[in-house]
Structure 1
């Protein structure tokens, strides 16, 4: 769309320059030409602004999604690494949580100690209570965050439902008032029509009475 409008404007400007060269004087735009040019410029600028805003929103959404995925992956890796007596590979080396809660490089045991521990014992090192507490805290935080999100969603749904119900009541009340006004107007029109009929009937009766009296007078004269 931008390309088409731009080409249209360029061709229009080239035509103006050609006319200027032929006449030897600047080509004055007619009001319609001025309106068309301004409209084309406005359309082009609006389209450019729309594309820029769309690209900005797309990039922002991608950044937010990437940060969210990285956060989930980080928590998942941390929880997985804390299972057991030592953290898994960090930067290519084995680390573990020390007694002071700091991450320390895992000490390599000598051959005698390794032989005494045995293969099964090496695989199932006794869990550090701080590791377990860290996992528990992480799980508690995730549960708390989920409960808060659920609470906010429920509160939002309740508020939305209440707003919808209130709007529905207002719409019904407006319809009821319109119907009542329409019924009142119809009743007034009905009463007016009845009065018109009564007036016509009275006028007709009066004319009949007058005619009857005239006939009575004529009959008396003939007698």
Structure 2
């Protein structure tokens, strides 16, 4: 049971910081935070994403490119132009690494105000850091596994961020329903997004990219947005007026 709880904490913890920090803050900047709070959030993102840590800089730029080029050949990840989800994710990984290592030239409109902490990202994205997390996870499993099937969850802990990305960027453009007719294939995966904490309302998000709340219908409860509202009310962050809906 402890293994299942551990995996659930990593799943929802890593997902929250990907949605809250990398997506809504770094890419869309729907709220502001102090430099101290930003640095704390960098560290918390590393702690919860572990071996699959994503930099705010690489993620933020790549996601802005996704919105600008959705479902075109320039889209960093699109089921419309990739043979399968593995091909899409491999291309995504390559573009992400090219952005972080500055191997490709990026239009300035995609880099404006994207948070970056070069020194920390260099460590958190290093092979040493990733292997350290993997070793820690393996040790945790060695001590607390109580049944053979729990070992099947171990690879999931190594690949949390890519799995989250596949669910939204592949399945979120193929399956589900749409509240808005748009010139892209974005879908809402769930009517109540219990699995992706609001990220699954992908069609809504493509329609209202500057909104902090991805839910539109009464039953589309955006759990990440509720936490954002709490953090705003307690003064840890400040929602921008245009992002409040």
Higher RCO (C-alpha 8 Å, min separation 6)? 2
TM range (shorter): under 0.3
Question: TM-score of the superposition, structure 2-length normalised?
Answer: 0.18
Which of 1 and 2 has greater Rg?
1
Going by fraction, where is helix more abundant, 1 or 2?
1
Question: TM-score of the superposition, structure 1-length normalised?
Answer: 0.19
